[in-house]
Chains A and B, each alone.
Chain A
Amino acid sequence: MAQGHTTASAILHNFRELIKEPKGLDDAANYLFQGLLDDVVAGIFIEIHHLRKTGNLTALDGVGEENAESAYRICEMPNLDIFGISTAKKPMDCTCPNCDRLVAATRFAPHLEKCMGMGRISSRIASRRLATKEGSSASSTSTSTYLQSGNTGGTDDEDDVDWSSDKRKKKSTQNSRNNGSKKNNGKTF
C-alpha cells in the first residue's frame, strides 16, 4: 500500500514537472495523440483482418452489380412498374363452380351466395332453379328440395364432382329450415 502510494505520487510529480513548461505540454499532447491514433489504426486493422478470416469481408463486399445490371435495371417506361410489368389492372374473373358463368372477382362472393342459395330469399330461388335444372337428369321428378337432397345424398360418395352443387344445396336447405324453425320458436315462446 505504501509502495503503491509512493509510486503514484512519483508519477504525479514527474508529470507535473513535465508539463510545467509549454514545450513539455506540447510534447505530451503530441505523444498522446500519436499513440492513441496508432492504437486506433491497429484496432481497425485487426478488425478488418478478423472480418477477412471469418469470411465476413466478402459478405460485406457483396456481389458486383456490373453483371447483374441488365437483370435488375430499373424500368422507367410509362405505364410500367420498376420491374417492367404493366401496371394496368387485369380483369380478374372467376368461374362459378355452380353455374359455370364468368363472374368478376369482386362480385364473386355475392354471386355465389345467390347462386348456391344461401340466405332466405335467394335460397328459394336457387333451389327452384336447381330443381328444374336437375329435374331432367335425376330419376325423381319431385320438386321438393328436401326430397331431392335426400336422393342426391345417397350419390355423394359415388362421384366427387357434385360437391359444388348438391352438397351445398343440401346444407343450405337444412340451414334455412333450421333457421326458420328457430325463428318461429323464438317468436312463439
Chain B
Amino acid sequence: MTVSNTVDQYTIMSGDRSKIKDLLCNRLTECGWRDEVRLLCRNILLEKSNSSNGVTVEQLIAEVTPKARTLVPDAVKKELLMKIRTILAENEAEN
C-alpha cells in the first residue's frame, strides 16, 4: 500500500476530503490566488491558441500547475497543512 492510495481511500471514505477541499478553496479565493491562476490560465490559453492547435489539455495543465503552486502564499499553505494534519490526527484518536 502506497501513501497516496491509503490517504486517498481513507479521506474519501471518512468524508474528510470534501471538508478539506472546501476549506482550501475558500482560503485560496480569499487570498486572491484564484484570480491570479485564472489570469495565468487565460494568458496561456490565448498564447497557445495563437501558435499551434496540437496541444492537449494535459500538457497545458502540466504547464500551469507548477506556476500555480508557487503562487500559493506561504501563510495559507502553512495553515492548511496544519489543519489537514489536525483533521487526520483527530480521526485517528477517535477511532
Q: Which of B1-49 contact A (CB under 8 A)?
A: 1, 3-4, 6-11, 13, 17, 20-21, 24-25, 28, 34, 37-38, 41-42, 45-46, 49
Interchain CA distance A165-B35 in the complex, whole Å: 69
Q: B92 near A16 (CB under 8 angstroms)?
A: yes
B61 touches A45 (CB 8 A): yes
CB distance from B39 to the nearest CB of A (A): 9
Instruction: Given A18-B3, A29-B85, A41-B37, output 16 extra A-B contacts at Cβ < 8 Å.
Output: A11-B9, A11-B13, A14-B1, A15-B92, A16-B92, A25-B85, A25-B89, A29-B84, A32-B20, A34-B69, A36-B21, A36-B24, A40-B21, A41-B65, A45-B41, A45-B60
Whether B42 pairs with A48 at a CB distance below 8 angstroms is: yes
Cβ–Cβ < 8 Å partners of B17 in chain A = 32, 36
Structural contact, B42 and A15, CB atoms closer than 8 A = no
**Bound-state Cα–Cα, A42 to B11, Å:** 20
Chain A residues whose C-beta falls within 8 Å of the C-beta of B68 in the assembled complex? 37, 41, 44
Q: A12-B95, A40-B28 are in contact. Are A48 and B4 (CB under 8 A)?
A: no
What per-residue 1/0 map shows which CB atoms of A11-40 lie under 8 Å from chain B? 110111011000011111111111111111
Q: A33 and B7: CB pair below 8 A? A: no
Complex interface residues of chain B between 42 and 87 (CB less than 8 A to chain A): 42, 45-46, 49, 57, 60-61, 64-65, 68-69, 72, 77, 80-81, 84-85
Complex interface: chain A residues within 8 A of B24 (CB): 33, 36-37, 40
B3 contacts A24, CB within 8 Å?
yes
Question: Could you tell me the distance in whole angstroms from the C-beta of A156 to the nearest C-beta in chain B?
Answer: 71
Are A40 and B88 interface neighbours, CB within 8 A?
no
Q: How many pairs of A and B residues are in contact by the CB < 8 Å rule?
A: 103
Min CB distance A19 to B, Å, is 6
Any B CB within 8 A of the CB of A49: yes
| Across-interface contacts of A41 in B (CB, < 8 A) | 37, 61, 64-65, 68-69
CB proximity of A135 to chain B, nearest CB, Å: 82
Q: Which 7 A-B pairs have the closest CB atoms?
A: A15-B10, A48-B41, A29-B84, A41-B68, A29-B85, A14-B6, A11-B9
- On chain B, the residues within 8 Å of A14 by CB distance are 1, 6, 10
- State whether A44 and B88 are in contact (beta carbons under 8 Å apart), knowing that A32-B11, A37-B68 are contacts in the complex: no
B83 nearest in chain A by CB position: A29
Other-chain residue from A15, A35, A44, A52 in contact with B37 (beta carbon distance below 8 A): A44
Contact B4 A31 (CB under 8 A): yes
Q: Is A46 an interface residue (CB 8 A)?
A: yes
Q: List the A side residues contacting B88 at CB < 8 Å.
A: 19, 25, 28-29, 32
